[in-house]
């Protein structure tokens, strides 16, 4: 589906600079659409058809990003933390302009599939209890699981952070 957007909005959303900086870049002739220099940062561009270049490099526009990762032990499923490493530290920095976030969470000492995206609707469809998206967890434990443990988990377990 064709989508027309301002060239400065496209480039700023992709991390090429602020809208003010892109105005300057346009005036310097650093932005091209279909091999034509664009001096007006408000120029509308069809993201499905037009070829966009910044500083002679082709720009691949996309509204959403979807990243699947095998989250290793020791990383937080978070977008910011002052003490511990986060899953965003593991992805290529070119994705950071899209502001991806984890869809769901895995504990710091847990490893497994984690999806990162900037698509809020997808995240809602996956995480909303009303959508009934099944999730499967596999755990290795030390010791024995008692009948009392099973009942406690069936009733629900409150974590240290209140969840």
Q: For 111-143, write each residue's pLDDT tens digit.
A: 999 999 999 999 999 999 898 888 888 878 889
Domain that residue 144 falls in: 66-155
CA–CA separation, 153 vs 118, rounded Å? 32
Choosing from 48, 73, 84, 107, the catalytic residue is 107
The CATH number of the domain where 133 resides is what? 3.30.70.580
Residue pair 75/87 in contact (Cβ under 8 Å)? The answer is: yes
Q: For 2-18, write each residue's pLDDT tens digit.
A: 578 999 999 998 889 99
Active site includes 107?
Answer: yes
Residues 53 and 77 in one domain: no
Count of domains forming the chain: 2
User: Any idea what DSSP says for residue 79?
Assistant: S
- The domain boundary, picked from 15, 39, 59, lies at 59
Q: What is the pTM of this model?
A: 0.71
């Amino acid at each position: 589906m064709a989508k027309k957007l301002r060239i400065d909005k496209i480039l700023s959303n992709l991390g090429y600079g602020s809208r003010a900086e892109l105005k300057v870049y346009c005036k310097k002739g650093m932005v091209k659409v279909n091999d034509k220099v664009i001096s007006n940062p408000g120029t509308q561009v069809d993201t499905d058809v037009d070829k966009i270049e910044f500083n002679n490099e082709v720009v691949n526009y996309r509204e959403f990003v979807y990243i699947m990762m095998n989250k290793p032990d020791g990383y937080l499923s978070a977008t910011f933390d002052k003490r511990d490493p986060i899953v965003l530290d593991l992805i290529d920095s070119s994705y950071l302009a899209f502001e991806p976030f984890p869809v769901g969470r895995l504990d710091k000492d847990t490893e497994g599939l984690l999806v990162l995206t900037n698509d809020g609707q997808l995240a809602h469809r996956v995480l909303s209890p009303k959508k009934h998206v099944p999730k499967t967890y596999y755990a290795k434990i030390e010791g024995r699981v008692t009948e009392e443990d099973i009942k406690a988990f069936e009733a629900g377990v409150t974590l240290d952070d209140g969840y």
